[in-house]
Structures are given as structure tokens and as C-alpha cells.
Structure 1
Amino acid sequence: MNNVRTVSDTKRAFYSQHTRPINAIYRRVVEELMVEAHLLLVNADFNYDSIYALGVVSTYDRFMQGYEPAGDRDNIYRAILQANEADPDQYRRDAEELLGVAKSLPSIDAFKSILDEAKTESGSDTLKANLHKAISNPKFKYSRLFAIGLYNVIESIDADMLNDKDKRDALMAEIASTIGLNEDLLKKDIDLYRGNLEKMAQAQEVMKDMIEAEKKKKAKREEEKKKRAEAKAAGEKTEIADASPTSDSE
């Protein structure tokens, strides 16, 4: 009998590896990424690819940017994937290789050419190979993380184009048609990703301001404590001096 891991199994594995508390505003990011990866990896129709890996890595890196203590960031990332019985180093290697290819492309038109070629051939190019893998699989399992991986590929080629909603939607429609994805779902996932990035950036700024304000309050309390201690010490010296016997000069 093949026992499929449950979400509870994955969560237990995660918290056995990362035992420190997770900063409150990032807890939902960690939990959602861990569960989303779990549900995909136990799905019989899911096949790992570099675009999905880039989606995982970029989601983690961008939403966890600014996490404190900074030393916990890598440990949390590794714990998420190891709890899902995945290799965190492979994910990073594949994501970086894919981004390297994307950054070498001169334009979105070059990406479209690769997308079109991927309909009939794989080749040695990691971007084309991964696109072909998705296009040629009749049971391809779409995921939000795959969409985010695609978004980060395009962003590496022409980030400014993505700020134009009409152009962004047109490109997503072309990608959806070529790969065989639900166009509305792809656009929705991309828009949600962009919106959540903005919200997280705002939350991080608020948190940063709160931390700075707390540091100032702490410094002020320490200064006031120091002054009170100095005043107390000075008072004690005065009392000792007043209590000392004075010599009669006559």
C-alpha cells in the first residue's frame, strides 16, 4: 500500500527542522508556500520543471526579503523543501540557470520565438526545453507557482513591459494559448502575484518603521536609565561627603 504524505506530515517535518518562531507577517507566506508545494508534489499528474522551480524560489526570495533575523532565511527555505522531500539546492540551480537564459534574450519577441519553436521541438536551451515539456504534456499540471516562474522569466527580459496591463495581458493570452492553459486563470494568478508583492512591500516598510521606532524608544529608555543611575550615584556621593566628620582647624 502506497501511503501519500499528508499536509500534517509535511508541516511536522518542517517544524522539526526549523524550530525557531517565524516572524508573524511572514508566517502565512511560509505556510502557503509549503502547502502549495506539498499539494503539487503528491499529485500524480505533476512533473517537476525549472519554470516551477523558479516560481518557488522567486516567491520565497521576494516575499521573505527583509525577514529578520536574516540568518534564518536560508534555513526556512531549506526546511520548506526538505519537508516536501525536495532538493533545495536543485531548485536554486535550475532557477538560476533558467534566469540566466532569460536575461540573455534581447527582447520579448525573442521569447515569443522560443515559445513558438517549443511547440514542435525541445533542444538544449533550458527555457525552450521546459516550455516544450509543458506544451507536449497532455496532462500538464498547471500551478500558480508555474505562472510565477513564467512571470519572472518575462520580467528578466523586459520588466517595463509588464507594467503595461494591455501588453501584459496580450502576452499572457499568447502564452496560455500556446501551452494550453486557462487564460483567465493565468492572468488572475499573475495579477494576484503582483498585488501581493505590493502589499508585502508595504507591510515590510511598516515593519521597518516599527522596528526603527522601537530602537529609538529603547535607546531613549537606556539613556534615561543611565542618567538616573548617574544622578543616584552623584546623590550617594553627596550624602557620604555630608556624613563625613569635619576636622576643627582651631
Structure 2
Amino acid sequence: MVEMHLLSVNVDFSYNPIYGLGVVTTFDRFMQGYQPERDKESIFSALCQAVEQDEQRYRQDAERLQGIAESLPVNDLIAWLSQSTTLDRDADLQAQLQAIANNPKFKYNRLFAIGLFSLLEISDPELVKDEKQRNEALKKIASGLHLSDDKFTKDLDLYRSNLDKIAQALVVMADMLLADRKKREQRKQQSTTTVAPPSTNE
């Protein structure tokens, strides 16, 4: 939320669908395991309203880009994102990519980087798991869009590291809840078990 707010007041920042996908993906990933589940949408809505944005725009753009990534071979997607080729798949996104590549004042941000990474992950989950292939793809995209390769890679390394930590925390939490449930069940069984009084010899 802090980054969204800082970007919203930056004169060089303008919304684009890839940034929108990054926001949605970050929220969904970092809110995994949140209970009650039904409150997540209202929290996302409040988050967007806090920076005077429309949550439906974010969700719709994210869904549209996810559909594009699912329909493209990853090499075609990389070539498109790096602007080494153009595709007639989505005229709006094509225009956005060209504008970013040609704008020396483009306000790069981590949420935009996460949006790009999410597109790769959706298109080919195995590619992003392979360090060599992942780094090669990121370098091509960074070069084509005139982004800082070093910052781009570091931001995504931090993002992936945080995802790993969250996944580990969820496992620990699940284990703790299971252990607590077993203890409560054991106590319940003990309290309902009737202990026969010792017999006396007459």
C-alpha cells in the first residue's frame, strides 16, 4: 500500500495493465491463508480506495493479461514483452509496451516488475523455476523495455524470497493448528471417559 501511495503522487507515474496485474498478484499471493476468506475482497477494495483507484479496473486488467499469457507460448510472450516482435493479440497492451520502451521517464516500480514476472509464470511455470532460463528471459525483457536489469532482477529475487517465507510460515501455521486440534480432541476424550472406581474386597 505504501508503494501504491507513493506512486500515485509521483508525477512520472501512470497506471498500466502490467502494474495492475502486479498489484493483484501481490495481494493474492501475500494474502494466501488469510481468514476469513470472505473478507479478502473487501480488504482489496479498501486498499484501492485508499489510493483513489478502482479495484474493478485492477481485477479486469489482471484477468485480461492472465488470459493472454495462458494463450501464448512463453518464447512468443518474451519476444513481445521485450518488443523484439509485435503481436496483434491486444492492441492496448502493445501500445502500452511501446510507450514504456520509448519513455525515458517511465516510472519503474516493483509492482510493475511483479506483473511482468507473473506473465512469465502463467505462461510457463517451469521456466521461472529454472534460474538460467528465468534470468535470460528477464534480461531480454529489461533490455527491450529499457529497464535497469540489476534492479529488475533484485526486486524479483526479493519478491520470490518473500513468497518462499510466506509458504514456509503457512506450513508452520498449519502444523500448529493441527497440533492444537489434536490436543483439544484428546482433552475432550479424556473428559468424557468414565473412570471406573476401584473395587473393594468385602
TM-score by length of structure 2 reads: 0.87
- Number of the residue aligned with 2:42: 75
Structure 1 residue 74: Cα displacement: 1.6
- Number of the residue aligned with 2:69: 102
- Number of the residue aligned with 1:35: 2
Distance (whole Å) between structure 1 residues aligned to residue 43 and residue 13 of structure 2: 24
Instruction: Tell me whether 1:55 sits opposite 2:22 in the alignment.
Output: yes
Match for 2:39: what amino acid?
Answer: D
Structure 1 residue 121: Cα displacement: 9.7
Q: Give the secondary structure class of the aligned counterpart of 2:79.
A: helix
Gaps of 5+ in 1: 1-33, 236-250
Q: Give the secondary structure class of the aligned counterpart of 1:181.
A: coil
Offset from partner CA, 1:24-65 (integer Å, 9 cap, x none): xxxxxxxxxx11111111111110011001001001111211
CA change 1:120–1:206 in 2 (3 A) is: closer
- Choose from 176, 188, 191 the match for 2:142: 176
**Matched ranges for 1:7-18 at <5 A:** none
Match for 1:45: what amino acid?
Answer: D
Structure 1 residue 118: Cα displacement: 7.4
Structure 1 residue 126: Cα displacement: 4.2
Distance (whole Å) between structure 2 residues aligned to residue 120 and residue 114 of structure 1: 6
Gaps of 5+ in 2: 198-202
Check conservation: 2:22, 2:112, Cα contact below 8 A. yes
Instruction: Tell me whether 1:45 sits opposite 2:7 in the alignment.
Output: no
CA change 1:80–1:120 in 2 (3 A) is: same
Identity level (%): 47
Check conservation: 2:80, 2:87, Cα contact below 8 A. no
Check conservation: 1:51, 1:130, Cα contact below 8 A. no
Check conservation: 1:50, 1:91, Cα contact below 8 A. yes
Match for 1:139: what amino acid?
Answer: K
Offset from partner CA, 1:50-107 (integer Å, 9 cap, x none): 1001001001111211112212222221111111111111100001101111111123
Distance (whole Å) between structure 1 residues aligned to residue 8 and residue 188 of structure 2: 51
Distance (whole Å) between structure 2 residues aligned to residue 105 and residue 119 of structure 1: 13
Check conservation: 1:123, 1:129, Cα contact below 8 A. no
TM-score by length of structure 1 reads: 0.71
Structure 1 residue 113: Cα displacement: 3.3
Structure 1 residue 125: Cα displacement: 3.2
Instruction: Tell me whether 1:156 sits opposite 2:142 in the alignment.
Output: no
Offset from partner CA, 1:162-185 (integer Å, 9 cap, x none): 122122112211111111111100
User: Max radius of gyration: which structure?
Assistant: 1
Check conservation: 2:82, 2:141, Cα contact below 8 A. no
Check conservation: 1:122, 1:132, Cα contact below 8 A. no
Distance (whole Å) between structure 2 residues aligned to residue 122 and residue 134 of structure 1: 18
Check conservation: 1:103, 1:157, Cα contact below 8 A. yes
- Number of the residue aligned with 2:182: 216
Match for 2:26: what amino acid?
Answer: T
Offset from partner CA, 1:217-248 (integer Å, 9 cap, x none): 22233333444xx77xx99xxxxxxxxxxxxx
Greater relative contact order (CA < 8 Å, ≥ 6 in sequence)? 2
